[in-house]
Amino acid sequence: KQEVTQIPAALSVPEGENLVLNCSFTDSAIYNLQWFRQDPGKGLTSLLLIQSSQREQTSGRLNASLDKSSGRSTLYIAASQPGDSATYLCAVPASGGGADGLTFGKGTHLIIQP
């Protein structure tokens, strides 16, 4: 059964720093990997989707990488801002094609200090 681990569980950094969030998964036979952002008590906002054939995907100050063979992904946030404060979740299909949904990590709770 697919398991997803996110490290660190929490992170607090001053504004302006570049930072890296880590995600690892146990079954490397995935079609894609998705990063989400969740604000307190709110819904999940999709940030980036990386297909299994891709190595990385970029959106603005965000860059996500994928190394399927090692079962790892990283989310790089450049020049962090207080508005980036949220919980970041990594998710992969629970099995193969993903018919039975996503398996999520527990998330990294990020605080950017002004």
Partner 1 sequence: EAQVTQNPRYLITVTGKKLTVTCSQNMNHEYMSWYRQDPGLGLRQIYYSMNVEVTDKGDVPEGYKVSRKEKRNFPLILESPSPNQTSLYFCASSNWGTMYNEQFFGPGTRLTVL
Task: Return residues touching partner 1 (CB under 8 A).
Answer: 31-32, 34, 36, 41-46, 49, 51, 89, 91, 94, 97-102, 104-107
CB–CB of 72/46 below 8 Å?
Answer: no
Q: Which is nearer to partner 1, 30 or 80 (CB)?
A: 30
Residue closest to 33 by CA, chosen among 85, 76, 75: 75
| CB of 17 vs partner 1, minimal distance in Å | 27
Q: Which is nearer to partner 1, 21 or 102 (CB)?
A: 102
| CB of 10 vs partner 1, minimal distance in Å | 14
| C-alpha span between 105 and 9 (Å, rounded) | 10
| C-alpha span between 8 and 90 (Å, rounded) | 12
- 74 phi and psi angles, rounded to 5 deg: -130, 145
Residue type, 106: K
Q: Which is nearer to partner 1, 61 or 106 (CB)?
A: 106
| CB of 51 vs partner 1, minimal distance in Å | 6
